[in-house]
Chains A and B, each alone.
Chain A
């Protein structure tokens, strides 16, 4: 009797292992199949610049460029802040304060993305519209990047809120990587007469560089796939944004706004599936690459 139980039990275990590991394959295959009709009908015109489902125009370029633009802006803001605060936590803080600050980063990280999105809508957008953008346009308006109308909504607002969201992530991973930098290296620099800030910037930061690269890639993957934080602040206009103040429409927002209503129009659904496919490719690519780098670093220096 026990033997039978054991056999059934083992079968169940195998089954659950198969379910858990094949979910990603299911998702990928279903989205790939969903993409096929649009790809067959439109081919390369999917990379067009006009998105108008009512007229049967399915150009995805505005969304792709909006997403990349917003993510690049967010990285430009978040990377220096995240990396430098990690350096501060690792090199300039006692163990006690370090643990406390790490917990605070964790707290920042666990705020739900919809709360970030809501806050961006009621706090960042008005400030940009009434204070920051008019000033920038006044003084720097001759640069194309800072031209346009002070709408508040747009590339800059989305970039800022994404930057705020991913800074704790970049900081947390950079802290982990910087902790792995061998103590001997730092001690030998001190022995050569280096000051604390020289050790921080010339040893820790430089040795941890590949790991910081991994942190940036991971947050890139997160930022591209982020939905709720940017949904209400981009303005959701399907154009190719040029200035920082232009409204835009990112990949994830189109999916939220249009997917439910698209079923019934096979080509519309299929075009949206191809957006999902692009998102899947980007985030899986960035995330796996960063995990690969982190694993190599851990193997090189060992866990501590």
Chain B
């Protein structure tokens, strides 16, 4: 009897602590909606900012985020795909693979602001690309490598040996097998890797402050600046002391941003469940 009472008390205390740990999401969302609901309207998403952002929408940021993602994926995906195939299919020495894997793992631990310093110094300053879409995308592409490479590698390793061996038995070369068997079977995993790294890029701000100039329009050249959802929030919050309405705009932007990121999270969850079903079962 005494024991069960003690169990019940422990249960209650731990439940309260867990609710405390999970509550920030609700608190943050409530505060953001409270501050930003006035600015949430279809025109927020369909019009460019006017008057330094005090009027108009955030179309530049929405379009900019997607353009930045598209360009950095175009740079990063081939590199990660190639590296993953090379590391899983063509490296037979386990020591070399371990070293390569741990180098990538260390890259995952680099703080985003350090990527920003690197991107600023190398792309903006030394290579003279200026504050531009290209500098920002190159920096972001490097940041994507760890998550994307690891996810793709893990899926490639899940592809059953037997299927590869049967392909060899049918006379396929190493290259043909990698290209038309392994890669095709790993497609859901590759998409998951892309989604995960897109989620990271969408929420990233610090490296962008140092690599992309702001832009009130959609960039039409690689050397133009680009605005993203996060960077727009940064600009608006920095100006918020002078123009309080910009803080409301920043809150509205954050709601859009959280919405997009949650949608990507859900999609990733769905895909990774599907992936384990098709390959493992």
Contacts and interface: CB of A to CB of B under 8 A. Distances in A.
Q: Do A and B bind each other?
A: yes
Interface of A: 5-6, 9-10, 12-17, 19-27, 30-31, 34, 80-82, 84-85, 87-89, 92, 101, 103-108, 110-116, 118-119, 121-123, 164, 167-168, 171, 195-197, 200, 221, 224-228, 232, 252, 255-256, 259-260, 263, 272-273, 276, 279-280, 283-284, 286-288, 291
A119 B31 contact: yes
Interface stretch (B5-13, B54-62, B184-192): B5-13
Contact of B14 (A87, A112, A252, A255): A87
B86 interface: yes
Contacts of B117: 31, 255, 259, 272-273, 276
Contact of A279 (B111, B142, B173, B250): B111
Contacts of B108: 287
| Chain B contact patch, size range | 35 or more
A99 B123 CA distance: 43
Given A20-B149, A104-B22, A114-B203, A263 B125 contact: yes
A89 B79 CA distance: 39
B130 interface: no
A27 B114 contact: yes
Nearest to A6: B175
Interface in B237-259: 237, 247, 250-251, 254, 257-258
A190 to B, nearest CB: 12
Interface of B: 3-4, 6-7, 10-11, 14-15, 17-18, 20-22, 24-25, 27-28, 31-32, 35, 78-83, 85-87, 90, 100, 102-118, 120-122, 125, 142, 145, 149, 173, 175, 199, 202-206, 209-210, 230, 233-234, 237, 247, 250-251, 254, 257-258, 261-262, 265, 269
Given A25-B103, A108-B22, A20 B113 contact: no
Nearest to B82: A16
Q: Which of A5, A22, A227 has the most CB of B within 10 A?
A: A227
Given A31-B118, A171-B21, A16 B80 contact: yes
